[in-house]
Amino acid sequence: QPCWSEYLTTRIEQNMVVNCTCPISECRAQPTTAFIYSIVSSEEIIAKYEKALLRGYVECCSNLTWCTNPQGCDQILLKDGLGYGAACSKCSWISCFNCNFPEAHYPASCSHMSHMTCAKCNHGFCWRCLKPWKPTHKDYYNCSAMVSKAAWQEKRFQDYNERCTFHHHAREFAMSLRNRVSSVSEMPKIRTLTFVLDACKVLEQARKVLAYSCVYSYYNQDTESMDIVEQQTESLELHTNAL
């Protein structure tokens, strides 16, 4: 029993217990949950084992996923229907169900948010950090495309990137403002500030849509449809700034 206890404890601590087998090389039997409970006595190790079981179950279910809130959240989300994401009932973060991007990014598509590839030289790069997927390629704009076109594309990218970054920072400001207002509203003799909190939430959502609208606009070249999108985006930005 001491040998089994040490073996299982090590496997649990190394996150390798779900698929572990008997330590005898010829034996492929896997220890059952009941057997592990009877061998391992540490409550801390058992808690880690149960977390490993839950993590393994979620990863095996195509309709389940973890909340992707970068601040940390242990909530499990159900992929219900054809929606791209849903608000977490615990932290209200909206995750994307169809790609690895950490949050829902409407109106930008999942392909806009993930691995980008240069149509001319097949160079791959990350939209978020702009670092190359293939380190051997030095610079996205050093491909065989015309220099003037590359310079124009770079300027266009910088313009949209600056707008996108601005809206992300403005969204963080709205979140910070909501947190400060929440703390003030809890003080005695302060009248209700619910309307201010609601306004901050609207600001957060509007800045998020504006940020990802920049991504959407950058990757879409259809002049006729983009004129309408730009007009709507400009109107939303105008009202958001006023709010």
What's the CA gap between 154 and 168, in Å, rounded?
Answer: 21
pLDDT score recorded for residue 190 = 62
Residue 55, exposed/middle/buried by CB under 10 A (0-12, 13-18, 19+)? middle
Q: How confident is the model at residue 207 (pLDDT cuts 50, 70, 90)?
A: very high
Asked if residue 193 is part of any domain, the answer here is yes
What are the DSSP calls for 108-162, one per residue?
S-HHHHSEEE-TTT--EEETTT--BSSTT---GGGSSS-HHHHHHHHHHHHHHHH
186-194 average pLDDT score = 69
pLDDT score recorded for residue 206 = 93
Of 193 and 233, more confident = 233
Structure tokens at 86: 């849903």
pLDDT score recorded for residue 135 = 46
Q: How confident is the model at residue 146 (pLDDT cuts 50, 70, 90)?
A: very low
What's the CA gap between 222 and 205, in Å, rounded?
Answer: 26
89 and 171 co-located in one domain: no
What's the CA gap between 82 and 60, in Å, rounded?
Answer: 19
Asked if residue 110 is part of any domain, the answer here is no
Asked if residue 109 is part of any domain, the answer here is no
Q: How confident is the model at residue 41 (pLDDT cuts 50, 70, 90)?
A: confident
| Geometric angle at alpha carbon 88, from 83 and 94, rounded to 5° | 55
123 and 186 co-located in one domain: yes
Q: How many CB atoms lie within 10 A of CB 169?
A: 12
DSSP state of 1: -
User: Number of folded domains in the chain?
Assistant: 3
Asked if residue 148 is part of any domain, the answer here is yes
231 and 119 co-located in one domain: yes
Q: 69 and 78 in contact (C-beta within 8 Å)?
A: no
pLDDT score recorded for residue 141 = 38
Q: 95 and 102 in contact (C-beta within 8 Å)?
A: yes
137 and 155 co-located in one domain: yes
49 and 71 co-located in one domain: no
Q: Is the pTM of this model over 0.75?
A: no
119 and 238 co-located in one domain: yes
Orientation angle between helical segments 147-185 and 194-219, nearest 10 degrees: 170
What's the CA gap between 150 and 83, in Å, rounded?
Answer: 37
Of 64 and 224, more confident = 64
pLDDT score recorded for residue 84 = 59
71 and 164 co-located in one domain: no
88 and 12 co-located in one domain: no
DSSP state of 219: H
pLDDT score recorded for residue 83 = 52
From the DSSP assignment, how many helices (H) and strands (E) are in the chain? 7, 6
13 and 95 co-located in one domain: no
Per-residue pLDDT reduced to its tens digit, 71-98: 778 888 887 655 556 678 888 888 877 7
What's the CA gap between 136 and 122, in Å, rounded?
Answer: 12
Residue 128 has pLDDT above 80, yes or no: no
2 and 86 co-located in one domain: no
Its domain, for residue 76, covers: 61-104
174 and 211 co-located in one domain: yes
Least confident of 40-49, 70-79, 189-198, 209-218: 189-198
Per-residue pLDDT reduced to its tens digit, 93-112: 888 777 667 777 777 776 66
Residue 142 has pLDDT above 50, yes or no: no
Asked if residue 85 is part of any domain, the answer here is yes
